[in-house]
Structure 1
Amino acid sequence: MIPFSDVARAAYCPRQLYYARREDDRQVPPEARARIDLAFRYPSLVDASDATLRRLPIRRSPAAYRRNLSRLHERDDYDRLVAPDRTRAFCAGKDCHGTVHKVLTTGADGDATDDESGDAETDDASDNPPPTPVIVSPGEPPENGVWEPQTVRAVAAAKALSWERKRTVPSALVEYPTVGVVRSVRLTRRTRAAYRRALRAARAIDGPPPRIDDDRCSGCDYREQCGVGRRSLRSLLG
């Protein structure tokens, strides 16, 4: 099976995934873990002093961060976000596996049957809402929606949770705790297609994929190995 992180990298750049797979240590860096941990501290952060917030890895001013947390408190699912049913849960589906940072539920799951695609199909008679997986990102969100690699990772998590619980999981959440923002990802035809493309790309890698060489390369940790920016004019022109 493919890790959630691999399909997310494949959605971003298959060549980056190739180099990442060659690393001996693929653990989450300490600075990223510190940012992710903020997602489990919202109740204490909303009233934290400016001095306290400035010592934390947030990406907004203290006043703006508190405003965002106050808006977060108005969400219908806020209580479940701060007290999830499961945290840092390992989920394994038919194709992918990995850590789901939070699993939000409102009751026991209903009975289900498997559909032909390998995802679990909810029994329509069940009165219990489906569980919602939450992926926490240490980065910055786009102006609207969710970046495609995180969308793909959220879909992978939803499919794995669906397989585990044997019922349909129609949506997931992506949290950006360094700014105090939560975005929804629905499993639509478009997001499922993006997930399938990334899954195929991740499975197909057996050597360095072609370079992409665009704005993504400037912040890539593997640009030196990749050689982006050092190619000849002839190679750039084809």
Structure 2
Amino acid sequence: MTPFSDLARAAYCPRQLYYARRDGDRDVPETTRARMDLAYRYPTLAGAPDATLRRLPIRRSPAAYRRNLARLSERDDYARLVDPEFERVGRAGKDCRGTVHKILDDGDGPPVPTVVSPGEPPENGVWEPQTVRAVGVAKALAWEREREVPRALVEYPSVGVVREVRLTTRAKAAYRRALRAARAIDGPPSRVDDDRCTACDYRDRCGTGRRTLRSLLG
């Protein structure tokens, strides 16, 4: 069964997933963990002084961060975000498994799982690897509870932003592509050569580089 984290890596770059599997690279860096932990502290952080916030791994100035958290508190689901039904629980579906960071449930509508990201959100929406992971988490929760889970949330706690992922036809197609890619890896996949490489932890050992016209033509 494919881990949620493998889905996200496969959506980003299958070759990156190959290296992570080969090297047994499953440890979460301390800074990453610290940024993700902020998702469980919103009420406390909303009123924290500048000195406290500057000691934390936030990605905004203290004033901007507090403004983002103030906007976050206006969400209809804010009470459930800060007091979810479950936190950091393992869940397994038909195809994938892993940790669900939060499960929001008001007892009326379908449950809403969340994915916590340590990074920056795009200007609008959610990055594709996180979209794919959110779809996988929602599908696993739907499988477990035997009911439809039509959406998930992606939290960017170091910024103080939460975005929604709807299980649209496009999002589910991206999920299926990533799942197929993750399952198909039995050797190094083809290299990519674009802006993803500059942010990849494996760029020094991968061998990617800006190729010359001669190399592209063989």
TM-score normalized by structure 2?
Answer: 0.97
Q: Flag the 1:183–1:101 CA change in 2: closer, same or farther, 3 A.
A: same
The within-5 A match list for 1:159-178 is 159-178=139-158
RMSD: 1.2
Shift in Å at residue 237 of structure 1? 3.5
Alignment of 1:139-218 (within 5 A): 139-218=119-198
SS at 1:17's partner residue? helix
Matched, 1:129 2:85: no
- Provide the residue aligned with 1:84 in structure 2: 84
Q: In the TM superposition, what is the alpha-carbon distance from 1:34 to its structure 2 partner?
A: 0.2
Counterpart code for 1:19 = Y
Does residue 63 of the first structure (1) align with residue 59 of the second (2)? no
What corresponds to 2:32 in structure 1?
A: 32
Kept after mapping to 1: 8 A contact 2:130/2:154: yes
State the Cα distance separating 1:226 from its structure 2 match. Answer: 1.1
For the residue of structure 2 that corresponds to 1:153, the secondary structure is: helix
Q: CA deviation at 1:230?
A: 7.4
Q: Higher helix proportion, which one? A: 2
Other structure's SS at 1:22 match: helix
Summarize deviations over 1:139-163 as a string: whole Å, max 9, x none. Answer: 0000000000000000000000000
Question: Using the alignment, how far apart are the partners of 2:77 and 2:90 within structure 1?
Answer: 22
Moved more, 206-215 or 21-30: 21-30
Aligned AA (1:20): A
TM-score by length of 1: 0.89
Larger radius of gyration: 1
Quote the offset at 1:236 in angstroms.
3.2
Moved over 2 A (4+): 230-238
Q: How many residues align?
A: 218
Work out whether residues 154 and 163 of structure 2, in 8 Å CA contact, stay in contact via their aligned partners in 1. yes
The equivalent of 2:201 in structure 1 is: 221
CA–CA separation in structure 2 for the residues paired with 1:8 and 1:139: 13
Aligned to 2:36, what secondary structure does the other structure show?
A: helix
Once residues 215 and 39 of structure 2 are traced to their aligned partners in structure 1, the CA distance between those partners, rounded to angstroms, is: 45
* Cα shift at 1:205: 0.6
In the TM superposition, residue 71 of structure 1 has moved relative to its aligned partner by 0.2
SS state of the match for residue 23, structure 2? Answer: coil
**Counterpart Cα distance in 2 of 1:57 and 1:42:** 14
Give the aligned residue type for 1:150: Q
Please tell me whether the aligned partners of residues 193 and 210 of structure 2 are also in contact (alpha carbons under 8 angstroms).
no
Aligned to 1:98: 98
Q: Distance in 1 between matches of 2:206 and 2:217?
A: 18
Question: Mind listing any 5+ residue stretches in structure 2 that lack a counterpart?
Answer: none
In structure 1, stretches of 5+ residues that fail to align are 108-127
The residue identity in structure 2 corresponding to 1:131 is P
Aligned-pair CA distance for 1:44: 0.4
Aligned sequence identity (%): 76
Q: CA deviation at 1:29?
A: 1.2
